[in-house]
Amino acid sequence: MPRGWCTLVITEVADEIGVGVHFNPFVSWNDKTFKYGVVRMHDLVEDVLNWERFYLSGRLQKPVHVLVDTLDVEHLNSCNLRAAASAALLFLPSNFTEEDLYAKICNLSYMGDLRMFFAEDRHKVKKIVQGQFDLCRRMYKPVLEEFATKDLLRFSASSSHQENIIQDCSLPAAQSLVSCLPKPVRSYIGMSFGEQQRMNTGPVVHEVVIASRAEAANCVEKFIRRKVMVSSARQAVSGLLTVGISRGSRYLANKVSKAWKSWG
């Protein structure tokens, strides 16, 4: 098959079956194996800002190293980080540690991921947070400071290198966190609680009015789980079709092997 046709087929499979990303998991360079992905910038922006598929947005909620950024993705991603922290805080109690928060954030993109049942290290989130704690702190410091100025969070020193965090669990505080979530998530919550029009000095502002912090958290969890479950399944099928059954099976076998070792 001509190379042009191969590219077209791969793109079509990634778009129609997968989540718009084509991954090549076996790239050898300097005796190391790398995995890279290709995505349209429009699809990346949609996922980062709106959690359209909660795939790349989930990856960018964890520490990454940006090599070249011509679209200022790091700036766009600040909205994604604020939303991720808001969602995680809705799931956490009034008192927790920094590590608890970063673990909850990193776990968002694995909620509902079918691979977590058989093809992922069960300690993966813990390893990410403990291995990249300082990077997580650097990523989320601006967001946490912003929330602290709004009196949503308070910090207290601990005997360890991390801080203890106390959050306001009142309904107004939960409302503030919900307002930081992407519009599709707020719309999903609105289907349960109903929407209210709030008049400002300017135009009408549509906001979701919640009746319960726990119910809001439950809605957010359902939204994320459904997105991740569908995206992980579609991407798995897309990967097998685009990289080939042989290479895809090899990649899956490596993942399953690591998963089983984590249970040993």
The model's pLDDT over 79-114, given as tens digits with 9 standing for 90+, comes to 999 999 999 999 999 999 999 999 999 999 999 887
Contact between residue 142 and residue 150 where contact means Cβ atoms under 8 Å apart: no
Q: What is the pLDDT of residue 96?
A: 97
Could you give the C-alpha distances from 183 to 77, 180, 188, in angstroms and in order?
A: 15, 9, 9
Q: What is the pLDDT of residue 177?
A: 97
Q: How far apart are CA 36 and CA 47, in angstroms?
A: 18
Q: Which long-range contacts (CB under 8 A, 24 or more apart) does 235-239 make?
A: 235/18, 235/19, 235/21, 235/55, 236/114, 236/115, 237/17, 237/18, 238/13, 238/14, 238/17, 238/18, 238/19, 238/22, 239/18, 239/23, 239/25
pLDDT band at residue 197 using 50, 70 and 90 as cut-offs: very low
Q: What is the pLDDT of residue 199?
A: 38
Beta strands 32-39 and 95-97, pairing class: unpaired
What is the average per-residue pLDDT within 114-140? 84
Q: What is the pLDDT of residue 85?
A: 99
Range of the domain at 113: 3-262
**pTM (two decimals):** 0.82
41 C-beta neighbours (distance < 10 Å), count: 10
Q: What is the pLDDT of residue 240?
A: 64
pLDDT band at residue 244 using 50, 70 and 90 as cut-offs: low
What is the average per-residue pLDDT within 134-153? 97
* pLDDT of 260 strictly over 50: no
- Higher-confidence position of 65 and 223: 223
**Separation of first and last alpha carbons in the chain:** 44
Quote the tokens at residue 179: 């307002």
Q: How many domains does the chain have?
A: 1
Q: How far apart are CA 115 and CA 243, in angstroms?
A: 18
Query: Tens digits of per-residue pLDDT, 172-188?
Result: 999 999 999 999 999 99
Q: What is the pLDDT of residue 246?
A: 57
Across 20-24, 143-147, 247-251, the highest mean pLDDT is recorded for 143-147
Query: Tens digits of per-residue pLDDT, 156-174?
Result: 987 778 899 999 999 999 9
Residue type present at position 141: K
